[in-house]
Amino acid sequence: MKFGVIVFPGSNCDHDAFYAVSRNLAQPAEFIWHDSTSLGHVDAVILPGGFAYGDYLRCGAIAKFSPVMKAVRSFAAEGGPVLGICNGFQILVEAGLLPGALIRNRGLKFVCRDVHLRAATHDSIYTSAIPPGQILRVPIAHGEGCYYADERTLDRLEAEDRVLFRYLDNPNGSLRDIAGVLNRERNVMGMMPHPERASDPLMGSDDGLAIFRSVLQARPVSA
């Protein structure tokens, strides 16, 4: 299975994501520059964390206009898995591929530490390899990671089983402890915690690797 890792000017977790899937998951991967109009032949796409140009305006507000995002939209519309991590989540929300918004943390400070997550649904290609009840220890690093949506949207996400992860120790004030969500078709996901930074025992936790393993076992490989 081949992963494409989108690189925006300012991305700083692109190599982490690349390493997680190419070394820890032993799958082919390639970097895709934000100015590209094509994704090439990939089976899954990762929008990594870090920063993107224009974040000073609002996280992801400018990056959503990158040429590559048209290709990402088409890939998602065809059912391809798209994983948005941290800044990647913010870009997907700004691009309208996921509902809600990411706003300033409740304490108005950048938070960088491990958090504990529970998969809120196992009916997804991103959580199917996570044993029910398992608690994941995964790091976060963000200043604008508070998930916000109106009550109607939150109710719909829960009714449609589209809340992907919940915090056990909510670090940023996200409504209903939401740490990750799915689109209606369940192939696009966004999460603020960094599973790629918890994909190797040398980093203190490999809990995040279960998310990538889930995609690997769920997605057919292209010829």
Six token digits for residue 120: 């809120």
Q: pTM score, two decimals?
A: 0.94
Q: Let me know: does 211 contact 126? Beta carbons within 8 Å.
A: yes
Q: Round to whole Å and give the CA distance between 100 and 207.
A: 26
What residues have CB less than 8 Å from 57, skipping those under 6 apart?
Answer: none
Tell me the per-residue pLDDT of 10-64, one tens digit each, with 9 for 90 and over: 888 999 999 999 999 999 999 999 999 999 999 999 999 988 878 877 888 999 9
Q: Calculate mean pLDDT across residues 167-182.
A: 97
Phi, psi of 129 (to 5 degrees): -95, 5
Q: Say what the pLDDT of residue 53 is.
A: 79
Cβ atoms < 10 Å from Cβ of 114: 17
Per-residue pLDDT, 219: 61
pLDDT of residue 1 exceeding 90, the answer is yes
Please enumerate in sequence order all residues whose Cβ is within 8 A of that of 139, keeping only pairs 6 or more positions apart, or say none.
112, 113, 114, 115, 193, 194, 197, 198
**Which positions are annotated as active-site residues?**
86, 194, 196
Query: Which residue segments constitute the domains of the chain, with CATH numbers given?
Result: 3-218 (3.40.50.880)
pLDDT per position as a tens digit, 119-170: 999 999 999 999 989 999 999 999 999 999 999 999 999 999 999 999 999 9
Q: Is the pLDDT of residue 72 over 60?
A: yes
